[in-house]
Amino acid sequence: MASLGFWRRAELDPEWIAAVDTDGTPHNAGDLLGRVNQLTHGLRSLGLRPGDGIAAVLPNGIAPLEVYLAALQGGWYYTPINWHFTPPEIAYIAADCEAKAFFVAERFAAAGAAAADAAGVPASARFGYGDVPGFIPVAELRAGQPAASPAGRTAGATMHYTSGTTGRPKGV
C-alpha cells in the first residue's frame, strides 16, 4: 500500500496538528502516527492477520482514531460499536464480527466487560483505554513496540452494523 493520506502527511510534517481531542488536547501527526504504528505492531505480535476483525466501544476522541488508523494499515476490519447499546447488543456485534481484539474505554468498562464475557472474547484480546478491570491497558499493548511504520502495510476497512430488519444488526 502506498504511503498516502494521513501517513504521508504525518511523515512530511510531524508537527502538524492532526487531531484535537474532546478535552482540547492537540495531537500532532508525528506522535499520533507513532502510537498508531505501535498499536499495529502490538496487535500483529498477538497474531492478528489481514482480514481479521477488531471491535471497539469508545467515545468520540483520539482513541477510536488510533484504532481506526491501525486497522486501516494492518488490513483489519474495524467495527465501531455504539456505546449506547446494552451489553447483550455489544456482545452480539463483537461475536458476529469475529473480533480478534476488543477495545473498551474506561467510561464503558462495565458494559464492555459484560459484553466481552458474553461474546467469549479471551482475556488476551481485551484492551482498555483507561482503567478497565480485566482488560490489558492499551499503553501496555504499545509498550516496547517500534514507532516505525510496519512492513507489509495493507488496506483495512470499517464494518458498520445496521439496525437490521430481522431484529439483529447486520454487518455491512
pLDDT value at residue 3: 47
Whether residue 107 has pLDDT greater than 90: yes
Please, which pLDDT band fits residue 8 given cuts at 50, 70 and 90?
confident
More confident residue, 2 or 104: 104
What average pLDDT does the chain have? 91
- Share above pLDDT 70 across residues of the chain, in percent, rounded to a whole number: 92
Whether residue 53 has pLDDT greater than 70: yes
Whether residue 171 has pLDDT greater than 90: no
pLDDT digits (tens, 9 = 90+) for 12-36: 999 999 999 999 999 999 999 999 9
Per-residue pLDDT, averaged over 107-111, amounts to: 97
pLDDT value at residue 93: 95
Residue carrying C-alpha cell 464480527: 97
pLDDT value at residue 2: 45
Per-residue pLDDT, averaged over 95-115, amounts to: 97
pTM, 2 dp: 0.91
As a whole number of angstroms, the distance between CA 105 and CA 63 comes to 8
Whether residue 153 has pLDDT greater than 80: yes
Determine what percent of the chain falls in helix, strand and coil, rounding each to the nearest 5: 40, 20, 40
DSSP 105-140: EGGGHHHHHHHHHHHT--GGGEEEES--TTSEEHHH
Residue 95: is it exposed, middle or buried by C-beta count within 10 angstroms (0-12/13-18/19+)? middle
